[in-house]
Structure 1
Amino acid sequence: MKPTNLAFLISSAFFSMCFSTQLMADVDYHIDINQPVHHLAQVSVSFPKTEATQFKVNLPVWRTGRYQVLPVADGVRLFEATDAKGRALPWERTASGEWTISLTEPTAVNVTYQLHANQLADRLRHIDDSHAYLDASGVFMYSPEFRQQPISVDMKVPNGWKSFSGMEKGRHPHSFIAANYDVLLDSPIETGINQHFSFDADGREYEVVFWGEGNYDTEQILIDLRKISGQASMIWDDYPFERYVYMVHATSGATGATEHLNSTVIQLPRFNFRERKDYLRFISTASHEFIHTWNVKSYRPQGLVPYDYQSENMSDLLWVAEGSTSYFQNQLLLRAGVITPKEFFEDLSQRIVLNQDNPGRDTQSVAEASLGQWSSTWGDYAINHSVNIYSEGYLASMALDFSVIKDSDLRHSYRDVHKALYQNFKIPMGYNVADVQQILTTLTGKDYQAWWQEFVEQPVRVDFDNLLAQAGLVTTYGDKPKIQVETGMGLSGLHADLVLATVAKNSPAWNAGITAGDELVAVNGLKITADAFAKRFDDFTPGDKISVTVFSNDRLKEVTMVLGEQPKGTLAIKPLEQVTGKQKAFFKSWLGIDWPFDDDGEWLTINEDV
């Protein structure tokens, strides 16, 4: 029997069997969006009778989907607590996201507070005069004592607003109910002036809610989301939901997306939908978040089960949770006919180039990056000594996929690993490294501990041409590849000055003693400007020695730089000159589509509706 969207995360078997959407909730939330233009609302929570003498209420210090501690509680003011008779109760702030209320006798507890919500970029909470986006982790306090109790949410919103969520509707159009706080936390609410659409795919109901004006094409988005939503069988054999909600924000600049239990929110600047490259970014993000409904929301590493909302949830498998999702997202689009094979391989080519240009790939493993995600930053040091669980996790997943396909004689792929994780480790279970390795052994008959040590515990080093050759492919910069100058210096792109944001490790600039934060002044004694930054170095050839003048800690410094070289042009993935039937069979086992090239190595005309 397929689990419903509400019962899915209930850790208590009692509530799985007994919770009814008609029962009165034990924890009642109310939010009055009373000053939307100033991003303010009033929140109240009614907790059941408690026997505790020290009653704790919490606001999470992080939100699901973003593995970093955030200053969430900074949006709370005017906290008050009262007993069942409305009498004030003494309280004190005992931690960043914790308030401790003192009780002298058993009583129900009511809590109220003012909420400031202007964190749209964090996809945490945002209120203005057109809408409110409410992720419970940044809005609704909970008590650990009543975390598993049924809850209700009632909202008072401006006239004309419409409210949507993955939760079930409550007593009126602006109310919702959930089995427990975990479901509430993973079911954000979008309420406001919006457009709403619905469709069915593979026996499931889908809703799409658009907030904000922009240059998006709702008809095309609905067509493609429907194609995506019918592709789950590419990996899994059933669904963890009956209804799913896509929330799309057309913003004034905020970007990003977050997966939830049976919904997602996707944000792009309002005029970044029309161009094909922008649309591909949007639709691939939608695919990514949809896949997360299984990978993360249905099964996830042990360190994240159950969620601890008040501290870091450590795991060395975040690269599987995020990187593998990135790896599958365009495969799903490819099979659905939303993108062409050419677009798929253009994206893969860009990922390979980014990997080759990242000095941190020689320093950090995906396991270490997973453990370090909670404290990660992305400055100069990180770029030179770190990898990203998304991009590097993608490549580790790809290497693992090719290994499984080869070792199983094309009978299985990495998709089968995730199918087994879903079948055998549904929440409230969690999987660990040994579990993944056992699945790999079951599928291939081989021990994967050595592979794991080489590609997961150590920095990922992939010979992409040898890897892709198994599928009849090769990377190329063209028949007559050209080279261009490399310096290793990068600007932030935010200022007109020439303060260096990055200097790549072991690059010409690095070896010359230039570092991030230095301000570039002159090359060979002639002043350089931000507009001429790239063009100026095109005046030279690789191997040339040039004089570079910088301000370093406000002190003028002149150094000699020996210019390096890098490929010029765009990396492409093409078929080998001679491709065997075995390689074409490997290709199909990998991507699930037929060989997309003609006898001359040109793309076949397919997916003409894309």
Structure 2
Amino acid sequence: MLRLAVAAFALAFTSTAEATVHYAIDLTSPEHHSGKVRITFPATTGNTLDLKMPAWRTGRYQILNLANGVSQFSASEGNGHSLPWQKIDKSTWRIQRAGTGPVTVEYDLYANELGLRSRHIDDSHAYLDASAVFMYSDASRADDVTVSLKVPAGWRSFSGLQSDGADRFKGANWDILVDSPIETGINRSFQFKEGNRDYEVVFWGDGNYDTTQTVGDLKKIVAQAPSIWSSYPFQRYVFMIHATDGVGGATEHRNSTVIQIPRNSFQPREKYLKFLSTASHEFIHTWNVKAYRASAMVPYRYQEENYTDLLWLEEGSTDYFADQFLVRAGIMKPDEYFAALADAVDHYRRTPGASAQSVASTSFDEWIAPGGDRATNAWADIYAEGSLVSWLLDIKLLQESGGKLSYRNVHEALYRRFPSEQGKGFNATDVKAILAELTGHSWEDWWTRNVDAPAPVDFARLLAAVGLRISYEDSDKTVPTNPWAGWKADQAEGGMKLTGVERGSPAWDAGFVPDDIITAFDGRRVTKDRFEDALMERKAGEVVTVSYFRRDQLLQKKLTLGSIPKNKPKVVKVARPTAAQKALYQRWLLAPYPTN
């Protein structure tokens, strides 16, 4: 049986001699998250051939060390003669060649990184992002490729790549392969057409999703693309949906996306809308990031960080447009969209880093972005703050032009002028030039204040332009408050362990830090149920003696409580919207101003 399997695996290569670079992977023993890869590279000149695994994958701006899944590497010439090789860095294998003929390499691949959306193999499926699966050579990066999969009985394979038969795909070059992941396994698939384009939706894993509703809503979402762009960068697009055991996230690709949701998190409606917003975000990326992107990433350099100060535009602007697609599609109701805006307001006001770092700076530094306390206290966010700057820019364009121009016009111009497939990319100067061309005046000062420096956001003015306002109470005559410390905590042995302390909060000013274990307030033991409730019994301005452990020492501090609005902010309509406000609202969302 083993010899037969090996023979069949070898046959997958010899039957596709037309391919310049041929990739194959045997997935017939997936139980231990493993597969066997074989690649044949074409004849080239030179004494050595360097093969590489990327150090990161697109959509996640972080060095991931993707080569660590490779083991049992070997190389041979076309005649089967074994070739010596050595690793010259963590991601590069240098092969010593004996001649100039084709070179074949084989290696085992370990794939158990589902949450990274890079590679995952188990007894029900395989998700293969080429950046974490298949090696490449700079010498053949522009050559055409084929991919052959040997899979267990009953598995079905899908990809944005062009089909070349059952479990076989082909692409024009490595860059298309590396941006066209493959989903194979036990799954359910659906097809539809919209805008003269073909779409597939593939579900892996059981969950509380409704396939009919999901496919129908995705069809409504993709129909909104013409509200921004005048054409499509693809003919066929694949949604790959993973119903998982806890991991979540999504990644965009040039012709597809993978979206991971915990299997019972597709319902109720609030969670379902979050899923659809993610799907909308990733679909929009097919233009913004894939069809056009910052010049620092054209082409992608897979062995190192690709630094740019425009990730806020690529990620934050995509986030900004995502829910608007849902509104235009009739999926998200106005009050649900207003709730999302209110969350943005609340997040900005509770994120000290938003006023400490510019979106340009946080874009450049995304490769070293910290987690935990420092992420919110000292850093801005390319998604949240990038979305806010996009909102500021959109409303300014709408107001200046009387609704004739919007941020959508900027993205259509970027799409038309900087096609990444032609090796073109843009920088901040190009974006400002488009803004100046559209409006007839310079945007240098605006850019300096809002992009190159932390943007000062006046939400009242921003919302008023489109007939909306912030409310903390129905009457708005008074804003009730609660006492506030400004910390977050989880239960720990002997008390509550601080997990976050907001910069500028009472707890911050008192000197508390994450990992402090709070044990008592005014001599009374702290429990999980009483941690917040005990403070809610106090008033702003009251002083609390807090007992806590730090470095295993029992200490005490005085904490003077502050105040915070009792209710989260709401975004609601103004009492008497003007005709101008209604008109600008309609040009903003391309949807009618709500009547109730």
TM-score between the two structures when normalised by the length of structure 1:
0.93
- Tell me whether 1:461 sits opposite 2:456 in the alignment: yes
Q: Which residue does the alignment assign to 2:233?
A: 240
- Tell me whether 1:169 sits opposite 2:151 in the alignment: no
Superimposed CA distance per residue, residues 406-447 of structure 1 (whole angstroms, 9 cap, x where no aligned partner): 222221000100010001111120011111001111111121
Q: Tell me, what secondary structure is at the counterpart of 1:377? A: coil
Within a 5 Å distance, the mapping from 1:156-555 to structure 2 comes to 156-170=150-164, 172-427=165-420, 428-478=423-473, 479=475, 480-491=478-489, 498-555=496-553
The answer (yes or no) to whether the contact 1:42–1:113 under 8 Å persists in 2 is yes
Q: Structure 1 residues 349, 329: CA separation in 2 closer, same or farther (over 3 Å shift)?
A: same
Superposition deviation, residue 107 in structure 1: 2.4
The answer (yes or no) to whether the contact 1:217–1:274 under 8 Å persists in 2 is no
Q: Which residue does the alignment assign to 2:588?
A: 590
- Give 1:103's match in structure 2, choosing from 83, 89, 97: 97
- Give 2:112's match in structure 1, choosing from 112, 118, 141: 118
Distance across 2 between alignment mates of 1:260 and 1:227: 20
The answer (yes or no) to whether the contact 1:408–1:443 under 8 Å persists in 2 is no
Superposition deviation, residue 491 in structure 1: 2.1
Superposition deviation, residue 382 in structure 1: 2.1
Distance across 1 between alignment mates of 2:122 and 2:357: 42
The answer (yes or no) to whether the contact 1:34–1:42 under 8 Å persists in 2 is no
Distance across 2 between alignment mates of 1:430 and 1:495: 53
The answer (yes or no) to whether the contact 2:54–2:65 under 8 Å persists in 1 is no
TM-score between the two structures when normalised by the length of structure 2:
0.95
Superimposed CA distance per residue, residues 116-145 of structure 1 (whole angstroms, 9 cap, x where no aligned partner): 001000000111000000000110000011
Superimposed CA distance per residue, residues 350-409 of structure 1 (whole angstroms, 9 cap, x where no aligned partner): 111011000111211100100010111212122210011001100010001111112222
> Match for 1:290: what amino acid?
F
Distance across 2 between alignment mates of 1:382 and 1:215: 33
Identity %: 45
Distance across 2 between alignment mates of 1:203 and 1:538: 58
- Tell me whether 1:140 sits opposite 2:116 in the alignment: no
The answer (yes or no) to whether the contact 2:491–2:528 under 8 Å persists in 1 is no
Q: Tell me, what secondary structure is at the counterpart of 1:339? A: coil
Distance across 1 between alignment mates of 2:287 and 2:516: 46
Q: Which residue does the alignment assign to 1:67?
A: 61
Q: Tell me, what secondary structure is at the counterpart of 1:460? A: coil
Superposition deviation, residue 105 in structure 1: 2.7
Distance across 2 between alignment mates of 1:531 and 1:100: 60
Distance across 2 between alignment mates of 1:591 and 1:494: 47
> Match for 2:87: what amino acid?
R
Distance across 1 between alignment mates of 2:349 and 2:24: 51
Superposition deviation, residue 569 in structure 1: 1.3
Q: How many residues align?
A: 576
Distance across 2 between alignment mates of 1:89 and 1:492: 56
Q: Structure 1 residues 378, 349: CA separation in 2 closer, same or farther (over 3 Å shift)?
A: same
Distance across 2 between alignment mates of 1:577 and 1:513: 44
The answer (yes or no) to whether the contact 2:36–2:106 under 8 Å persists in 1 is yes
Distance across 1 between alignment mates of 2:395 and 2:438: 13
Superposition deviation, residue 576 in structure 1: 2.0
Q: Tell me, what secondary structure is at the counterpart of 1:38? A: coil
Per mean C-alpha deviation after superposition, the further-off stretch among 441-450 and 177-186 is 441-450
> Match for 2:516: what amino acid?
D
Q: Tell me, what secondary structure is at the counterpart of 1:324? A: helix
Distance across 1 between alignment mates of 2:212 and 2:532: 41
Distance across 1 between alignment mates of 2:505 and 2:580: 41
- Tell me whether 1:557 sits opposite 2:555 in the alignment: yes
